[in-house]
Amino acid sequence: MNTRTGFGALLWGLLASSIAWAGAPLPEGVHPGLLNGTRVEVAARSYDLETQLLRLIIGLDGGTRLYLHMADEERTDPIFGISSNNLRAGPVLLNGLHRAVRSPTGHGPGSSVWEETTEMRSDFSFEPSSRRGLELSYQGSARDTGGFTRIGVYALEERQGVPGSGVSLGHESGPYAFEALTGLVRPLPGTTSEDWFLGRRDFPGGYLAHSALSSRLTTGVLKARAAGGMSYGPLVRSGIWGRALVSVEGPAAILRFLGAVSNPDYRAPDGRVPPMRRYTDVSLRIPGEGAFSVFGGIASRSGQVPFSVHESAVHRREFRLGFDYEGQRLRLGMTAKGENLRDRNDERTRDETLSTQIASGALAGDGLRAVAEHQITRRLTADEVVSGYLTVSRVGLRYRVHAVRLEFDAAHRKEQVDRFMVRGASYVSYGDWSLNLILSSDISPMSESEFEQDWSARLELRRVFHIR
């Protein structure tokens, strides 16, 4: 038995031991004491019966959670984490202005980044983020106004090993909300050997600082959000960015306007210049009678994409139109979208996409539900001589009753060659137990009589128990 197999058996053995221990009563005369109210979740996952993962989450009374992640892959160390009202450490995800400074023009009007609080969020999943962070925060509430103030101090290590630290501040009172973020990072210098050919030099090294401020106003049908920031360092020019989202939401219509801009000297925390520098989007949704509504929008993106010799200007224009219908037994949606792409040499490419989604049956609650999706995309070059079609079709069945949920999906993708995807999943839960099994296959024809199949399987067993 090799090392990986032995370690995988150990992980599943730990799970079985934890389950057995969870079901055993405490010995007579022994009291849980400080562990009273503790929630323990033990779960194991296996990929193709080769890679084994173990996750342990201990939830203490008061909201504190402890996290342990182990894998039998080589050179993989255990991952620890802790999360409470005032402390987060371990693998983290970024929210609010943390995401904005990394991509000022990369979030659409429907992105959750507009509503998020600027903070780090613990990632205690089976596949945790590669970012490691530590954040200490304090939050105070005002009883008379219902508002609150939040202060956070953080340290962060990026995916590329870039260390950083900073302070975040947030205040909310009634319809107003303000947030601020300032941080310092030291990105790795650029590694381009022929940097004198580039239209813009890679990050030369040294420290890079970021400051950002956002505000939000919510009154009746009006919601306005604005943010802006800058980057600066001893070896680079200072850069700025700004963005705004205004929503007017009434019973007759929902109108949204988004504008974002980033100047050529702004650099993200990894030292790179964001390729897209301008982004505007106008969308309108008109609710109809009952569950029927129509929507449309226009978006424009432009920027400079760096290549090895020069920076190429890119301009994208997008037009979309569609409708939604959601009844008790039927959900129907259709979207038509066209996108025009023009590069530095004024060469043009046009993409046209038509998407249809249909779902019927028990849309909520127990029962059988069927779903179908179809998408066709046509690409035309400047002279409209070379054209190609990309079609994606998917059908699926969902069945749920009490503690059992079954899913089956079949998809077909055709561009230059056919590609088939099949997926089956079962989710069974009973009390504090859950068992999940997912089988999937990617099938590609090699010839008229031969097919290449790539099967994968995922098995997950989870057990939760409580100490009272």
In this prediction, residue 185 carries a pLDDT of 92
- Residue ranges for the chain with pLDDT beneath 70: 1-35, 74-75, 142-146, 159-161, 191-201, 289-290, 305-312, 343-347, 381-388, 446-449
Largest CA distance in the chain: 85
Residues 6+ apart with CB under 8 A from 77: none
Q: Which of 61, 64, 63 is nearest to 82 (CA)?
A: 64
CB 426 within 8 A of CB 398: no
Query: What pLDDT is stored for residue 308 in this prediction?
Result: 43
CA-closest candidate to residue 66, choices 77, 53, 82, 79: 82
Query: What do you get for the CA distance between the two ends of the chain, in Å?
Result: 40
CA distance 452 to 25: 52
Q: Is 317 helix (H, G, I), strand (E, B) or coil?
A: strand
d(CA 331, CA 327): 6
DSSP single-letter state for residue 203: P
Dig out the tokens for 332 from the structure: 């129907």
The amino acid at 229: G
Task: Report helix, strand and coil shares of the chain as percent, to nearest 5.
Answer: 5, 60, 30
Distance separating alpha carbons of residues 398 and 361, to the nearest angstrom = 9
CA angle 241, 247, 249 (to 5 degrees): 170
Q: Tell me the C-alpha distance between 459 and 50, whole Å.
A: 11
8 A C-beta contact, residue 252 and residue 240 = no
Exposed/middle/buried for residue 386 (C-beta within 10 Å: 0-12, 13-18, 19+): exposed
pLDDT reported for residue 32: 54
Q: How far apart, in whole angstroms, are the C-alpha atoms of residue 437 and residue 456?
A: 11
Separation between Cα atoms, residue 224 and residue 246, nearest integer Å:
4
Q: Which pLDDT score is estimated for 165? A: 93
Handedness of CA 100, 176, 287, 366 (dihedral sign): positive
So where are the chain's domains?
85-236
DSSP calls for 261-321: EE-TT---TTSPPPSEEEEEEEEEEEE-STTEEEEEEEEEEEEEEE-SSSEEEEEEEEEEE
At residue 141, the pLDDT reads: 79
Q: What is the pLDDT of residue 467?
A: 80
The residue among 200, 182, 180, 177 whose CA lies nearest residue 190 is: 200
Cβ–Cβ < 8 Å for 76, 127: no
Question: And the tokens for 450?
Answer: 């031969």
Q: What is the DSSP letter of 461?
A: E
Residue type, 164: G
